[in-house]
């Protein structure tokens, strides 16, 4: 599989990047839960926006839910 080098990722590349199934990503993208854009019939995702989204999601999750120990 090719390495992800572009700033814009396909659903397949994002699936590999996030280690989430493509079917889950399609659902999340259609629901607006993951930031992306539809270009024709294809979804595209900006790596920087995804990284920011991950950071915000992580910051909003209490430490006890992220697997942190007391």
Domain assignment present for 15: yes
Q: Is residue 28 part of a domain?
A: yes
**Taking the CB of residue 48, how many other CB atoms lie within 10 A of it?**
9
Domain count, the chain: 1
pLDDT tens figures, 53-64: 999 877 776 665
Q: Rounded to two decimals, what is the model's pTM? A: 0.72
Statement: residue 13 has pLDDT above 70: yes
Instruction: Give residue-wise pLDDT tens across range 31-55.
Output: 999 999 999 999 999 999 999 999 9
Instruction: Provide φ and ψ at 45, rounded to 5°.
Output: -135, 130
For residue 5, being part of any structural domain is answered with: no
Range of the domain at 37: 11-64
Residue 18 placed within a domain = yes
Q: Is 19 a member of any domain?
A: yes
Is 1 domain-assigned? no
Q: Is residue 47 part of a domain?
A: yes
| R_g of the chain, CA atoms, integer Å | 13
């Amino acid at each position: 599989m090719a390495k992800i080098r572009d700033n814009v990722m396909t659903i397949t590349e994002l699936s590999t990047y996030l280690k989430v199934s493509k079917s889950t990503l399609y659902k999340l993208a259609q629901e607006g839960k993951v930031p992306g854009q539809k270009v024709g019939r294809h979804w595209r995702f900006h790596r920087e926006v995804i990284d920011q989204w991950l950071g915000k999601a992580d910051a909003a999750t209490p430490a006890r839910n992220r697997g942190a120990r007391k």
